Amino acid sequence: MEEKGILENTLIIFSSDNGPWLVMEDHGGSAGPLREGKQFTFEGGVRVPTVAMWKGKIDPGQVYDELATLMDWFPTFCKLVGAEIPQDREIDGKDLSSVLFENGNREGDTFIYYMLASQEAYREGDWKIKRPYAGFAGTRGMKKSRGSRHAPV
């Protein structure tokens, strides 16, 4: 991008859709101290690191410790390019411009966690409530997981 002269006009983002794919064991990644990974609504399944760079626009070295979602990129990109966000439907994402360019915060801190069509957890601020989890026997694509009556994150 530097050679092509487009680095100053390019927002670069590295992220992931969900946590590590634990059924792949050492090759699938790690959620560190967080429970579970991809395909689970525990924190290890939904929290992923994200790195964003835009030379001359995002301050180098800034760290944002709060939550955001991949859905937030849609309204962020719309704002950056001057596109209108559709008004005929609810948009789940929030514009991250203040996080990226002003060292600010994401609007809102409420998140609902789904597994397919089932609401499994709700988070607001530092608090999360998770439905009791029966566990999962495992499949070729999803690892076995222990259940819990109370649901640690």
CA 129 to chain centre: 18
pLDDT of residue 13: 96
3-state secondary structure of 146: coil
How many CB atoms sit inside 10 A of residue 42's CB? 24
**Per-residue model confidence as pLDDT tens digits over 47-82:** 899 999 999 999 999 999 999 999 999 999 999 999
Give the contacts of 88 (CB within 8 A, at least 6 positions apart). Answer: none
Q: Provide the pairing of β-strand 51-53 with 110-115.
A: unpaired
Alpha-helix runs per DSSP H in 6-125: 43-46, 73-81, 97-102
CA neighbor of 23 nearest in space, from 46, 40, 47, 43: 40
Residue numbers in the chain where pLDDT is lower than 50? 151-153
pLDDT of residue 151: 46
Alpha-helix runs per DSSP H in the chain: 43-46, 73-81, 97-102
Residue 75 in tokens: 């309204």
Answer whether 146's CB lies under 8 Å from 36's CB.
no
What are the backbone angles phi and psi of residue 113, rounded to the nearest 5°? -105, 125
